[in-house]
Amino acid sequence: MSTQLTTLLAVFLFPGGLFALVLGLSLKGLDRRVAARLQGRIGPPLAQPFFDLVKLGFKRTMVPATASQPVFLGAPLVGVVSMLVAVALVPVSGLYSPDPMLGNLIVLLYLLMVPAIVLMIAGSASTSPYGALGFSREMTLMLAYEAPIVLAVLAVALRTGMGQGGVITFSLTDIIAYQRSHGMFLLDPVMWPALAAFALFFPANLGIIPFDIPEAETEVLEGPLLEYSGPALGLFKVMSALKAVVVLSLGIALFMPLPFDGIWGLVGWLVQLAVLMEIGVTVVRLSMGRMRIDQAFGFFLKWPLLLAIASVVTVTIVA
Amino acid sequence: MTDHTVACSYKIPVGPLHVALEEPMYFRVAVKGETIETVELNAGHVHRGVEYLATKRTLLQNMILTERICSLCSNSHPEALAMAAETIGAVEVPERAQYLRVIAGEVKRVASHLFNVGILAHLVGYEALFMHAMQVREVAQDLKEAVYGNRMDLGAHCLGGTRCDMDDEAITYMRSALDKLEPDVRELEKTYRTNGSILRRTRGIGILSHADAIACGVVGPVARASGIQYDVRTAAPYHVYDRLPVNVPVLDGCDVWSRAMIRLSEAVNSIEILRVCLDQLPEGPINDGGDPYIPPGQAIARTEAPRGELVYYLKTNDNPEPERLKWRVPSYPNWDALTFMLKEAKVADIAIIVNSIDPCISCTER
């Protein structure tokens, strides 16, 4: 098979595209169901996110009269496309490794920021004052978590690069291969600060409580998404489902790739995704309230940044 | 020529329909970034003309009408109306009926306060605590349903007494329900006192200083959280409150958190009052068997609704319909105090501050 064809398949079929969409929506369904059970409710069917998406697909998209239509409708498209490429960029241990032509860890980090930027653009294009509030909050939050996550990823890249005799590697495939032969970074105390920083970045990037500030329903009425309806809102749901898969599997690739191949690799990866979703998303968002934007900003410039800096320093010293 | 200067502040509408507000309120808020500069309060979205309607109904019909003014303090309205009418007619309410009135009022108070602190958890995004508070409240709801047959409008009062009696079975059930409720409410109180997520978003937010509180004439938990020790149950005891262990908690935090803590300690105190009522409940009639005659006259009655002091003014003439029925609800002065609380607040805290006065718009705008 030609490289182009494999890449296209990776973006649109597996592990990106259709597969990632189904996976992301199922994870969201699981999250909602488990959350309901933890709160003593019955909860929606596991397939509820699919039903929601289909329903939105049949509705009309209303564009506010004052909004700039191309930007308003283009923003969710850009978001979905960026996430489709991003899913195809994350390798799955023993199952899939992306073509180096597609990009490396740095490209992936850039792509991960696109949904936040898209939300900002969508919020300001909608001309709603709540969209504008969402815009400023999204931007503040992004500024806060950007530095820690880059440093945490840098620590992983340094550790792998030095372990392999070089200085640094930005290939996720290499990072997975290194961990498969030397043991997961999850079990390596040197990498724990980086892991902690990543764990704190994760709810902020996925926009869940305590960091769902830009879209806080009871404060800014979903902020940037306020004016969206129908298929355009559906695209945002697709983007967010894909983003969950990207961020979760990036976490798995960086810190805990399983040493299995083939079908067991797939099963193990799916189990890891589900467990991470429950521990990292459901339990976190149920066990605390939302922070205010100034509190979140202060928080990120304290702990995650310190942890991330500590991780880079320890990795350099140990090597 | 178009003006290209960038506006530093802009106005956002909060309400009249807003996911975080349960009832239609409308605030026009001028914000600079995330900080509020000025607030305009607007009212009148649910005006239904109940006061006018009340003059077209007989007193008996008004007992039913006033109960439907508001759901959360539905017990206090007919209670105050009955008290005003009984004052005019010099009707003696049997002692057992007075105890039963206290019981109905205190059960409603527990449910109302738990609802409010539950909503607070929802507004700070703490969904699990919200669900838990609502589950605890469900015990009180079951209690109301078991004893009065309704979860919200109890229909407990009639002119000259109460409509529902409590038999031994109901008393036993109420005791067991209170035993179930008390540890849960105490646990909730501890959670609200210590949980970081709650403290982070409620302490030092929505400050209403002692002086401002007096100037606004606020009542109920809002007043008591600003250091004003005022509760109609102790200031002007009605029914049998002078024989009951009414504890008036006062805090001087002046913030959202203090108001929530006042509500929780009142809920605990209400449970204690209910227990004492059940112990002291005397035998005897619960009303005088028919509709008492209310002669022409006028009277004022005051009760302590869950939100604070509720004042009823009733003027009767020779007709069965009252000439004038007017009430001042606790949310009326408390609503005005929002202008002080929202000063310099963050947009993120608007809903939390508004909820802290436990606004009852359907009472206020009737």
| Cβ proximity of A88 and A97 under 8 Å | no
- The CA distances from residue B10 to A135, A163, B32, B319, in Å, are 14, 55, 7, 55
Among the residue ranges A32-46, A190-204, A214-228, B144-158, the one predicted with the least confidence is A214-228
**pLDDT value, residue A53:** 92
Contact A210 B125 (CB under 8 A): yes
Say how far apart CA B312 and CA A110 lie, in whole Å: 65
Judged against a pLDDT cut of 80, whether residue A36 lies above it is answered with: yes
Instruction: Tokens for B82, please give them.
Output: 């009955």
Say if CB A268 and CB A83 are below 8 A apart. no
Whether the upstream peptide bond of residue B16 has omega within 30° of 0, thus cis, is: yes
Which strands sit side by side in the sheet containing B35-42, from one edge to the other? B10-14, B26-32, B35-42
Provide the pLDDT for residue A4. 77
Angle of helix A230-255 versus helix A48-57 axis, rounded to 10: 140
CB atoms within 10 A of CB B323: 13
pLDDT of residue B7: 54
Distance, in angstroms, between A198 CA and closest chain B CA?
22
Tokens of A1: 């098979």
CB-based contact B125 A292, cutoff 8 Å: no
The mean pLDDT value for A156-170 works out to 81
Q: Rg of chain A's alpha carbons, rounded to an integer?
A: 19
Per-residue pLDDT, B2: 46
Report, at the CATH architecture level, how domain B50-341 is classified. Orthogonal Bundle (1.10)
Pairing of strands B157-158, B161-162: antiparallel
Q: Where are the domains of chain A?
A: 3-318
pLDDT at B8: 63
Question: What gap in Å lies between CA A17 and CA A85, rounded to an integer?
Answer: 9
Which of B13, B123, B129 has its CB closest to that of A218?
Answer: B123
> Is it the case that residue B1 has pLDDT exceeding 70?
no
Rounded to the nearest 5 percent, the helix, strand and coil shares of chain A are: 75, 0, 25
What pLDDT is recorded for position B18?
75
Among B278, B246, B310, residue whose Cα is nearest residue B83 = B310
- Please give the pLDDT value at position B345: 86
Q: Say what the pLDDT of residue B83 is.
A: 92
Tokens 């963050």 correspond to B346
Contact B95/B239 with Cβ under 8 angstroms? no
Say if residue B143 is exposed, middle or buried (CB neighbours under 10 Å; 0-12, 13-18, 19+).
buried
Flag whether pLDDT at B67 surpasses 70: yes
Beta carbons of A292 and B122 less than 8 Å apart: no
Chain B contact set for A290 (CB, 8 A): 124-126, 197, 201
Mean pLDDT calculated for residue range A61-71:
85
Over 80: is that where the pLDDT of A94 sits? Answer: no
CB contact under 8 A, A39 and B131: yes
Alpha helices (H) in A164-261, listed in sequence order: 172-182, 192-206, 217-220, 230-255
Give A39's contacts in chain B (Cβ within 8 Å): 127-128, 131-132
User: Rounded to whole angstroms, how far apart are CA atoms B307 and A206?
Assistant: 39
Cα dihedral: A178, A181, A187, A190 (round 10): -50
Q: Give the model's pLDDT for residue B311.
A: 93
Q: What is the phi/psi pair of residue B299, to 5°?
A: -155, 160
Length of chain B counted residue by residue: 366
In angstroms, rounded to a whole number, what is the distance separating the alpha carbons of residues B158 and B232? 21
Residue of A nearest to B17 (CA): A221
For residue A283, what pLDDT band results from cuts at 50, 70 and 90?
A: confident
Percent of chain B whose pLDDT exceeds 70: 98
Q: State the average pLDDT for chain B.
A: 87
- Print the SS3 string covering A92-145: ECCCECCCCCCCCHHHHHHHHHHHHHHHHHHHHHCCCHHHHHHHHHHHHHHHHH
Does residue B128 sit at the A interface (CB-CB below 8 Å)?
yes
Mutate which of B8, B22, B131, B354 to test chain A, going by most A C-beta atoms within 10 A? B131
pLDDT for the residue A29: 92
User: Residues 6 or more apart from B94 whose CB is under 8 A from it?
Assistant: B161, B284, B285, B286, B287, B288
State what percent of residues in chain A have pLDDT above 90.
Answer: 11
What is the rounded average pLDDT of the residues B333-353?
Answer: 86
pLDDT at B313 over 90: yes
**Tokens at B81, concatenated:** 């109306």
pLDDT band at A287 (very low <50, low <70, confident <90, very high): confident
Whole-complex ipTM = 0.80
Residue of B nearest to A129 (CA): B12
Instruction: Give the per-residue pLDDT at A52.
Output: 92
Give the mutation candidate from B14, B19, B127, B138 for the A interface (greatest A CB count, under 10 A). Answer: B127
pLDDT at B270 over 90: yes
The verdict on B20 touching A (C-beta cutoff 8 Å) is yes
Q: What confidence tens digit (pLDDT) does each residue in B189-204 have? A: 999 999 888 898 898 8
The pLDDT assigned to A1 comes to 57
> Could you read off the pLDDT of A111-147 as tens digits, one per residue?
888 988 998 888 888 888 888 888 888 888 888 888 8
The sign of the torsion formed by the CA atoms of B65, B68, B69, B74 equals: positive
Largest separation between any pair of C-alpha atoms in chain B: 84
Best interface-test mutation with A: which of B22, B37, B119, B126 has the largest number of A CBs within 10 A?
A: B126
Angle between helices B127-148 and B168-194 (to 10 degrees): 160
For chain B, the structural domain boundaries read: 50-341
CA dist B273 and B171 (Å) reads 14
Least Cα separation, residue A294 to chain B (angstroms): 10
pLDDT in tens, B88-143: 988 888 889 999 999 999 999 999 999 999 999 988 888 889 999 999 999 999 98
Contact: A288, B196; criterion CB under 8 Å: yes
Instruction: Select from A38, A40, A287 the Cβ nearest to the Cβ of B135.
Output: A40
**pLDDT tens per residue across span B207-246:** 888 999 999 899 999 999 998 989 999 988 888 898 888 8
Report the pLDDT value the prediction gives residue A58, as an integer from 0 to 100.
Answer: 92
pLDDT per position as a tens digit, A301-310: 888 888 888 8
